[in-house]
Chain A
Amino acid sequence: MMKKTTKIVFLLTCLFFLSSLFFTMQQARAKDKKEILIGTHMPLSGLGAFTGEEQKWAYEQAVADINKAGGIYVKEYGKKLPVRLYEIDDESNPTKAAAAVERLIKRVKVDLILSGQVGAMGVLPGMITAEKYHKYYHGAVIWVPQFLQQHFKYCTMYFMDPGQGAAMVFEVWNSLPEKDHPKRPALFLEDTFDGKTIGNVMESLAPKFGYKFVLRLTMPMGAKDFTSQILKAKGAKVDGIFCMSNVPEAVTLVRQMKENRFSVKAFQGFKGTWPSNFYKSLGKDADYILCDGFWSIDYPYKGAKELGERFYKDFGRYSTNVGMYYAVAQILWQAIEKAGTLDDLKVRQAVLDNKFETVNGPADYDERGIALFPLGDNQWLNGKRRNIYPFDLAKYKIMVIPPWDKR
């Protein structure tokens, strides 16, 4: 028995020794500065996977493009260095996101970190871990209050403000002819931090734009039946909907609205209505539904159209997200060049001190490390998302949803 025990202990020791050898090799490689090693963690599986795929594609495109241009000039090294991206799947799990950042910093020895996503599910634990080890985390997709709670010194964020998002919804509704403004709108919200946050902001801003929500209904995540919510809304004569949910819940809601012949003049979805599989699941029933977007191929900024077409070529669909992720990487590339070094604090300071041109428009960070960009709004029609907001950039105008019996 002892012989076997010794065998196993020896085997385990070998495993750890082998792991250590790999770590040492990684460290040795990092010292020989021939490239800029950027680490990132993304939800490539789990709940956030539907956006992780686009984030991965966008980052990889940004890396390929900068390397095609010869890399980033870093004054400290007196030459242009190519960028290498090291990706880890955080499985949409906050604990694994934190562990992924530990791995990026300690094992992979990355120079800087590009954002993960989905707020508390990935970005926040990632930022907290990076802050512990004084590593710069170039963040995105996190709400401002969450970001400010931790008083980060090694992180920045690039996203939208819930207030901006709420204001956009009301501005879009107000762009309808007066008679078609929703008079009795309702909130359909998932039971999450995002749902509650946006719901509170929508309710508090509504009076400023001449609206008052007559109902606030909860959509439990994973629920397969929203008949009771629909009947309540029907009974309250609801004629406009703001819905914050994931795709399956949004699809179920629209299907059951049709089954119950519950028509509204405007349906604004956040998060759950922009992915392509929302339209694939509903077909023509998804027409006229509004979806948020962090970017549009129709934006007039340099590289936006080309990026959108490249995405279409690869996936056969259009994206309302990839431009935002591409922009995050673009900002980091420019900041490294302006800082002239890979020093974490100096790169962060360069992010704060400069203005950046991106495929998502100009980006300007404040002293807290926050850069906000205007949210976009799109309307589904014949399988395409038509950009209707911001009004000055949009090619299309919003259309009223015809009742179910007239479609």
Chain B
Amino acid sequence: MLQEPLKRKTHLSIALALVFFFVIYPLLVDAEASYLVFLFYTAFMYVTLSQGWNIAAGYAGQVSLGQHAFFGIGCYVTAITWRAGTAGYLDPLAMLMSGAGAAVVAIVVGLPLLAKLRGDYFALGTLGLGEILRVAALNGGSFTEGAAGISIPSDVYQSIKPYYFIALLISVLTMLSLWFIAHSRIGLALVAIREDETAASANGIPILRYKILAFTLGAFVTGLCGSLNAYFVFHIDTTGAFNLNWVIMPILMVILGGVGTFVGPVLGVFSLIAAFELIRLLTPQLHPIFSGAFIILVTLFLPDGIMSYLTGHKNRLLHKLSPFKWLALNK
């Protein structure tokens, strides 16, 4: 027990050192020519997306397969407001509106889904949301520019640095929010819901309210990432904005790092990105095969994630999250 404050101090020091490193790194190198700066930018985005999924699925046990819908909303809100002249380049207000847009949709959709559906059915329901929004955007006429998508002039682009620092800021804020939630009554309530909904309800926890809260927070940060992506790619269409990769990759990263853990998703993001990059370097033509094999090996040998290896005890959460039961079948 006496070691606990010491551990916390060490963890905090490591976290601060890492953030400090990430802040100064682009200032020390030629950021425009550095591929590592771009990789870090991508990693920060995925840290946010992973934690956005982790808060609902990992902490509250509500596995969403619809994060790409929230990402797409973020992209489109930013693109549409920019095109309309109500938002500018890297406009914080537009980014907040994008997050808020995703959060509102999460509440509207989450209310019936979270009240009525559980487990696999909830996951499938959220998967449907992405498809509905994709088709809606495809047929959105001049509002969404249909299949052509919305093009924003890219000549405003000056440097990757603002994107890098915004992505870093969003990921740090997401991590901090998650930390405070996890160590508050809300966090306890979410874990109680995840472990046993009936028992949680019997103990007076308003389960729907907490589920909605977790789902909405996840959607909000995912919408923020969508907004930043819109500013980075300058062309938003349904194929890119509502791409399933925006949900599959974060899930893989969280599983690799450790579902329902605080640091696990971050480790998952950096490990997966580093591994994929190395595989691309060593086998540029065959990387999908080796990347796929890597994922299979990880799920076979580290089904509970890197964090279970670190902490020395197996996290049994995967057994409880029904869509992932198969991962642990042969254990």
Give chain A's interface residues, CB within 8 Å of chain B. 1-2, 4-5, 8-9, 12, 15-16, 18-20, 22-23, 45, 86-89, 91, 93-96, 98-99, 102-103, 106-107, 120-121, 124-125, 128, 131-133, 146, 149-151, 191-197
Pair B278/A19 contact, Cβ less than 8 Å:
yes
Q: How far is the CB of A389 from chain B (nearest CB, A)?
A: 27
**In whole angstroms, what is the CA distance A15 to B7 when docked?**
25
Pair A15/B237 contact, Cβ less than 8 Å:
no
Residue from A99, A121, A132 with most neighbouring chain B CB atoms (10 Å): A132
Contact among B7, B138, B239, B287 with A2 in the assembled complex (CB-CB below 8 Å): B7
Contact among B38, B146, B147 with A106 in the assembled complex (CB-CB below 8 Å): B38
Contact among A4, A23, A91, A120 with B235 in the assembled complex (CB-CB below 8 Å): A120
Closest 10 CB pairs of A and B: A193-B147, A106-B35, A94-B240, A107-B35, A15-B274, A193-B148, A149-B151, A192-B147, A132-B157, A128-B154
Beyond the given A23-B36, A106-B33, please list 20 additional residue pairs across the A-B interface where CB-CB is below 8 A.
Answer: A1-B312, A4-B311, A4-B312, A12-B271, A16-B36, A16-B274, A23-B35, A89-B287, A94-B237, A99-B42, A124-B151, A125-B240, A128-B235, A132-B157, A133-B32, A150-B153, A150-B154, A191-B138, A192-B147, A196-B148
A102/B35 contact (C-beta < 8 A), A94-B233, A193-B147 known? yes
Could you give 11 example pairs across A and B, Cβ below 8 Å? A2-B10, A8-B306, A16-B270, A18-B278, A19-B281, A22-B281, A88-B284, A106-B38, A125-B233, A128-B234, A150-B154
Interface residue SS majority, chain B: helix
Pair A124/B235 contact, Cβ less than 8 Å:
yes
Chain B residues near A133 (CB, 8 Å)? 32
Chain A residues near B284 (CB, 8 Å)? 86-88
Interface string of B107-146 (1 = CB under 8 A from A): 0000000000000000000000000000000110000001
Select from chain A the residue with minimum beta-carbon distance to B309: A4
Pair A8/B310 contact, Cβ less than 8 Å:
yes
A19/B154 contact (C-beta < 8 A), A94-B237, A196-B146 known? no
**In whole angstroms, what is the CA distance A198 to B242 when docked?**
24
Q: How far is the CB of B176 from chain A (nearest CB, A)?
A: 20
Chain A residues near B287 (CB, 8 Å)? 89
**In whole angstroms, what is the CA distance A125 to B241 when docked?**
12
Chain B residues near A120 (CB, 8 Å)? 148-149, 235, 237, 239
Chain B residues near A193 (CB, 8 Å)? 146-149, 237
Q: How far is the CB of A86 from chain B (nearest CB, A)?
A: 8
Q: How far is the CB of A22 from chain B (nearest CB, A)?
A: 5
Pair A103/B35 contact, Cβ less than 8 Å:
yes
